[in-house]
Every structure is written in C-alpha cells, then in structure tokens.
C-alpha cells in the first residue's frame, strides 16, 4: 500500500469524495471492511451525520430491540425495547456514537437525491428515550456531537433533549416543540448556558419569553441566532447587541416596544460589533430606520426587512428607510438586500412611489440579491432597470414588485429587460412586472443578446396583448434561452387561478391570464428550437475551422 494511503487525514478527504458518489455509503461500508488502515477513517465519514437515530440504536444486541410497523395503514416503522438494558448492551453503541458529529432527531422522511424516492425513517418509541436516560453509562451519550437538529413535535419527548447537549456542542436547531410551556423552555435555556457554554449557533422555532432571551444572552460565544420571541424591547435588543461574536441574527417578535433611536442608544452605544447578517422581522418602516441608524456604521453583508402591514405605511417613511440603508451599510460589503411586505394582500389602498427613490441603493455595487416588494408600489420604468443593471453587475437574483396588482404609471416593457442581459451575466432569477404590449422586432427579437444563466422568470400580473402570446414567447426565449420547464410564471396567484370568465368585470383579466399561460406553454418549444439552431451553428463553425486548417497545411 502506498504510504499516502496510510495517512488518516488523506484517507478522510478521499472517503468524503466517495460518500458523494451514487451508492457512496455502501462503498464506505465495504472500504471499512477492506483493511485495518481504512477501517476507522471510513467509519468516521460513514457515521459523521446521521438522519435516523434508530440506525445507532440497532447497533445494540438484537434481543434488546424490535422494529415493527406503526399500523397497517402506514409504511412507517417504530423501534421499541423488549427488555431492560444491561451494561454489555452499550459496547457497539458507544463505539459508533463517538463518531457522530451531526444528528437529526424526529425527522419523519427523506427524499433520495438520486431516485427522488421518499424514504420513511423509523420512529423511536418514547419509552426508549426514558430507558436511555436511566441506564446510560457515566458520561455523554454522544461525546463528539457538534450539531443537533431536534424535530420532535410531541411535548412529551422534549424533556429527553437533555440527553444530547454537552460541553463541546456548537450548534442546536429546535425545529418543532409544540405545547412546551414558557417555564420549561426557559429552564432548558438556563441549563444550556452551563451544559453547552461553547454554543455558537442556536435556532429555535418555539416562542421564547423575555426571561428565556435573557438566558440566551448568557451564552457569550453565540455567532448565529434565530428566535421567535414573545416580545422585544430596546432593552432586550441591547442585550443581543452586546454579544460580541454575534455575526448572524434572525428575530421575529409578537410585539415590539420602544424601538426608537433614543431608546436604543440609551442602552448600548456600540451595538453588534461583529454583525454581518441582520433579519429582524415585523417592524414598521420607522422602527427599521431607527434600528439601522443605531447600528450605523455597519459592515452588513445581508439585510432583510419584512415590514409590518398592521400599521399604515407612508411614502415618507419608506424613503427614510431607503436613506437609512444607504447611510448605515457599507457599499462594499452589502450583497443581499430584501425589503418586503409581511402580507402580500393589501389591507389598505396601495401607495405609489417613483422608482427614483431607490437611487441611493445604486451605490451598493456588490449587490447580488435584491428583493424589493414593500407595502408601497414602486413605479418602475425601463430607464431605472437600466440604471440597476449598470450599478449591480454581480446581480444574481432580482425581484421588484411582483406581488403588487396595480400598474398605474408603470412603464417597464419587454425592451427594458435587455440591459439586464447585457450587463448582468450572472443573473439567475428575475421577477418583475411589465407591459408585454410593445411591438417586437420579429427578425432580431432581442437585439441579438441573450444570457444563459437565467433559470427562473416571474412576471406577476403583467399585461400582454391578447393574440400576441407567440411573439412574447419568442422574444423571451431569445433573451433567456435556458429557463427550465415550468420555470416561467405569470398570473399564478390564487385569485388569478379562480378568475371566472363569466363575470363581466373580470373578462379582460381572464384573457390576459390565459395569454400568459399560452406563453408558458410555447416557451419551451421556442427555447428548444433556439438550442438546436445554436448547436447547428457551432457545428458549422467548427467545420469551417477544420477546412481552413487543412487548406493552410496544403499551402
């Protein structure tokens, strides 16, 4: 055997690549049995991440456990213990348990990436957790576990989560925890500060009280937090801002209090010194403005503002928010910007704002993702789209106003899409409302330009000239030749789906909706023809090159 294959670190890198191949896990199991040098590195990779806890439990003696169907109506299995546990039962379990770094608990099924087949995972009986808690040997159940994903929804299971956190746990995601009381959750978070003081990531789907948040803020090394809170005031926000290592925060609160610049600055003068990704959801425009001015200057890379629609918006407050983004964020660092509405359906008359109000954002030359769909309708035009295309050359995702219904004063046309193709070569997803009613050059429908990186198009409730669906499909396929099947959508919201052609006032909408459906059906055919033309052109070009090379040799 070559000496390189006797180095465990090299073998681990090789086996990580093997795992990614089809049938990789079976191959790793075979490699583990091949020779002594391969045994541990192969098993370490094989056991690194476990989606099914029952796999580890079935390493115990076969007379201890039994696997059976839950009932005759479901393919799911359940694992139960037949007897009490003995000290000898832990031998093989402990050997493999020490290899697990990532564990998923409570996941019901997986979808195979190779076959797209649904794989149902074995349910672990509640009594099994109780016995593990009673009979586990001294020490930690999974001593090298680094990340725990908890997805059990039953409140009876949650008390047994204490089996898994330990001093070196770095990540904890609690995806489901229905019915847990505030006291129980707060007690768990309090214990977490001592059992896992090195925790770097904490995501919790359940509502955390103010006392629970205070416990979270005692974990001083946290870098990534995602929490649903009962309430959040300036004082609690200041506690989070004092976590010096915090780089990513996602917060949604049921109510907010005192989110003003004065209150925030009175509690903390140097907030979020390491913050790079900010997502605090459900504030109104004024509170977001105050928050951004408080953290200014910042080096945010990602900013998400989901504006609360329960309070009336105004053009003045939205302009102030845009100005605050431009003032507080670094133009060289911000790459992701999302300013959206918490409720797609308007709860009061839509406000309109000229697209020129977005010009302060053009200073952020490194933006790759831009989602702007606020409570106010942004009246876009072709010139503004061109300015965005020139200002954001690294743009990959752009979506502006696709949830809005009114097109009063709106002037984006099919021709307005061309600058995005010319200046944004990395563009992948595009969402914009437009008037597909302008005349199209049938000879050169898109001025001869195209971009193959775009895979999804979303046009909301765009207009179209009924009877010209084929022209529009031809234009779009020339501009975006690689959009996938079913990846072009327009008029696909629930209300549009249920339009009744017999209702007089909706007849025009029905015709527009049906015309866009015709575009979606015709688009793949045009794209296929253009791809064939391109291949034929490349073949002819290569043929000319070969002939030319032969002629030069004869000369």
Global pTM value: 0.87
φ and ψ at residue 441, rounded to 5 degrees:
-70, 115
- Which tokens in the block code for residue 277? 């990704």
Are both 215 and 262 inside the same structural domain? yes
Give the model's pLDDT for residue 347: 47
Give which of 349, 336, 340, 345 is closest to 321, Cα–Cα. 340
- Which tokens in the block code for residue 33? 């049995």
Tracing tokens 């033309």 back to the chain, one arrives at 533
Are both 59 and 137 inside the same structural domain? yes
Q: How far apart are CA 289 and CA 283, in angstroms?
A: 10
Q: How far apart are CA 213 and CA 170, in angstroms?
A: 18
Q: How far apart are CA 503 and CA 493, in angstroms?
A: 18
User: If 0-12 CB within 10 Å is exposed, 13-18 middle and 19+ buried, where does residue 454 land?
Assistant: buried
Residue by residue, what is the 3-state secondary structure of 409-443?
CCECEHHHHHHHHHHCCCCCEEEECCEECCCCCCC
| Torsion 300-301-302-307 (CA) sign | positive
Give which of 357, 379, 458 is closest to 417, Cα–Cα. 458
Are both 143 and 171 inside the same structural domain? yes
Are both 61 and 175 inside the same structural domain? yes
316's enclosing H/E stretch is: helix 315-328
- Which tokens in the block code for residue 512? 């527009």
Cβ(187)–Cβ(158) under 8 Å?
Answer: no
Q: How far apart are CA 311 and CA 511, in angstroms?
A: 36
Give the model's pLDDT for residue 311: 76
Task: Could you list the beta-strand ranges (E) of 178-244.
Answer: 201-208, 224-229, 232-233
Cβ(46)–Cβ(24) under 8 Å?
Answer: no
Give the model's pLDDT for residue 394: 96
- Which tokens in the block code for residue 445? 């429908």
Q: How far apart are CA 316 and CA 314, in angstroms?
A: 5
Q: Is residue 518 part of a domain?
A: no
Q: Is residue 251 part of a domain?
A: yes
User: If 0-12 CB within 10 Å is exposed, 13-18 middle and 19+ buried, where does residue 544 land?
Assistant: exposed
Q: How far apart are CA 140 and CA 272, in angstroms?
A: 34
pLDDT in tens, 526-545: 888 777 776 776 676 666 55
Are both 26 and 57 inside the same structural domain? no
Cβ(167)–Cβ(198) under 8 Å?
Answer: yes
Task: Print the domain residue range for 16.
Answer: 1-47
Cβ(201)–Cβ(223) under 8 Å?
Answer: yes
φ and ψ at residue 530, rounded to 5 degrees:
-65, -35
pLDDT in tens, 206-257: 899 999 999 999 999 999 999 999 999 999 999 999 999 999 999 999 999 9
Cβ(289)–Cβ(321) under 8 Å?
Answer: yes
Give which of 202, 90, 201 is closest to 140, Cα–Cα. 90
Query: Which range has highest mean pLDDT (15-19, 67-71, 187-191, 530-534)?
Result: 187-191
pLDDT surpassing 60 at residue 505: no
Are both 113 and 231 inside the same structural domain? no
The percent of residues above 70 in pLDDT, for the chain, comes to 91
Average pLDDT over residues 169-191: 88
Q: How far apart are CA 303 and CA 546, in angstroms?
A: 53
pLDDT surpassing 80 at residue 448: no
Q: How far apart are CA 96 and CA 29, in angstroms?
A: 13
Are both 165 and 62 inside the same structural domain? yes
Are both 28 and 84 inside the same structural domain? no
Instruction: Give residue 554's pLDDT band: very low, low, confident or very high (50, 70, 90).
Output: very low
Mean pLDDT, rounded, of the chain: 88
286's enclosing H/E stretch is: helix 285-295
Average pLDDT over residues 11-19: 87
Last residue of a domain, one of 148, 179, 210: 179
Give the model's pLDDT for residue 250: 97
Cβ(250)–Cβ(227) under 8 Å?
Answer: yes
Cβ(96)–Cβ(47) under 8 Å?
Answer: yes
Q: How many angstroms separate the Cα of 182 from the Cα of each of 53, 229, 235?
A: 28, 11, 20
Q: How far apart are CA 459 and CA 474, in angstroms?
A: 16
Give the model's pLDDT for residue 349: 56
Last residue of a domain, one of 247, 275, 303: 275
- Which tokens in the block code for residue 502? 């017999």
Give which of 285, 343, 271 is closest to 317, Cα–Cα. 285
Q: Is residue 344 part of a domain?
A: no
Residue by residue, what is the 3-state secondary structure of 530-541?
HHHHHHHHHHHH
Cβ(426)–Cβ(368) under 8 Å?
Answer: yes
Number of Cβ within a 10 Å radius of residue 464: 25
- Which tokens in the block code for residue 65? 């456990």
Are both 81 and 150 inside the same structural domain? yes
pLDDT surpassing 90 at residue 180: no
Are both 33 and 97 inside the same structural domain? no
Cβ(454)–Cβ(430) under 8 Å?
Answer: yes
Are both 137 and 81 inside the same structural domain? yes
3-class state of residue 71 by DSSP: coil
Last residue of a domain, one of 125, 149, 179: 179
Q: Is residue 406 part of a domain?
A: no
Peptide bond connecting 297 to the previous residue in cis, omega within 30 degrees of 0: yes
Structural domain total, the chain: 3
Cβ(278)–Cβ(328) under 8 Å?
Answer: no
pLDDT surpassing 70 at residue 441: no
Cβ(159)–Cβ(183) under 8 Å?
Answer: no
Residues whose CB is less than 8 angstroms from the CB of residue 66 and which lie 6 or more positions away in sequence, other chains included: 79, 80, 81, 82
Q: Is residue 120 part of a domain?
A: yes
Residue 107: CA atoms inside 13 Å, Cβ hemisphere, count? 18
Q: How far apart are CA 121 and CA 216, in angstroms?
A: 32
Q: Is residue 397 part of a domain?
A: no
Average pLDDT over residues 49-67: 95
Q: Is residue 154 part of a domain?
A: yes
Q: Is residue 517 part of a domain?
A: no
pLDDT surpassing 70 at residue 504: no
Are both 174 and 251 inside the same structural domain? no
3-class state of residue 174 by DSSP: strand
């Amino acid at each position: 055997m070559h000496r390189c294959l006797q180095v465990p670190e090299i073998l681990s890198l090789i086996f990580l690549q093997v795992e990614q191949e089809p049938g990789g896990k079976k191959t790793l199991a075979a490699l583990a049995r091949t020779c002594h040098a391969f045994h541990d590195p192969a098993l370490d990779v094989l056991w690194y991440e476990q989606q099914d806890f029952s796999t580890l439990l079935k390493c115990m003696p076969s007379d201890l456990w039994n696997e059976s169907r839950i009932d005759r109506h479901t393919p799911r299995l359940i694992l139960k213990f037949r007897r009490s546990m003995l000290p000898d039962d832990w031998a093989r379990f402990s050997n493999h348990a020490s290899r697990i770094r990532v564990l998923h608990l409570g996941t019901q099924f997986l979808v195979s990436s190779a076959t797209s087949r649904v794989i149902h995972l074995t349910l672990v009986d509640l009594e099994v957790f109780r016995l593990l808690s009673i009979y586990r040997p001294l020490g930690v159940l999974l001593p090298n576990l680094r990340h725990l994903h908890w997805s059990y929804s039953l409140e009876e299971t949650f008390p047994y989560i204490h089996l898994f956190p330990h001093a070196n746990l770095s990540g904890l995601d609690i995806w489901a925890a229905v019915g847990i009381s505030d006291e129980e959750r707060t007690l768990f978070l309090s214990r977490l500060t001592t059992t896992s003081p090195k925790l770097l990531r904490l995501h919790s789907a359940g509502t955390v009280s103010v006392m629970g948040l205070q416990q979270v803020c005692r974990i001083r090394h946290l870098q990534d937090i995602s929490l649903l809170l009962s309430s959040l005031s300036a004082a609690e926000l200041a506690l989070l801002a004092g976590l010096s290592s915090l780089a990513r925060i996602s917060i949604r609160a049921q109510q907010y209090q005192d989110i003003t610049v004065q209150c925030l600055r009175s509690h903390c003068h140097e907030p979020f010194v390491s913050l790079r990704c900010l997502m605090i959801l459900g504030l109104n425009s004024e509170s977001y403005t105050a928050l951004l001015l408080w953290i200014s200057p910042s080096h945010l890379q990602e900013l998400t503002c989901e504006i609360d629609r329960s309070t009336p918006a105004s053009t003045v407050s939205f302009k102030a928010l845009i100005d605050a983004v431009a003032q507080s964020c670094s133009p060289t660092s911000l790459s992701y910007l999302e300013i959206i509405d918490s409720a797609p359906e308007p709860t009061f008359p839509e406000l309109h704002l000229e697209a020129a109000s977005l010009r302060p954002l053009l200073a952020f030359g490194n933006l790759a993702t831009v989602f702007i769909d606020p409570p106010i309708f942004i009246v876009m035009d072709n010139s503004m789209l061109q300015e965005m295309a020139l200002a954001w050359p690294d743009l990959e995702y752009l979506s502006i106003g696709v949830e809005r219904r009114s097109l009063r004063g709106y002037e984006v046309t099919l021709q307005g899409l061309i600058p995005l193709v010319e200046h944004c070569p990395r563009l992948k997803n595009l969402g914009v409302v437009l008037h597909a009613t302008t005349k199209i050059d049938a000879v050169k429908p898109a001025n001869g330009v195209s971009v193959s990186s775009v895979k999804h198009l979303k046009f909301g409730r765009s207009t179209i000239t009924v009877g010209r669906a084929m022209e529009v499909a031809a234009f779009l396929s020339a501009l975006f030749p690689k959009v996938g099947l079913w990846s072009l959508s327009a008029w696909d919201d629930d209300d549009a789906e249920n339009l009744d052609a017999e209702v007089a006032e909706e007849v025009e909408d029905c015709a527009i909706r049906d015309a866009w459906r015709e575009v979606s059906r015709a688009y793949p055919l045009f794209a296929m023809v253009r791809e064939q033309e391109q291949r034929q052109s490349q073949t002819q070009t290569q043929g000319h090159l070969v002939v030319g090379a032969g002629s030069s040799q004869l000369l």
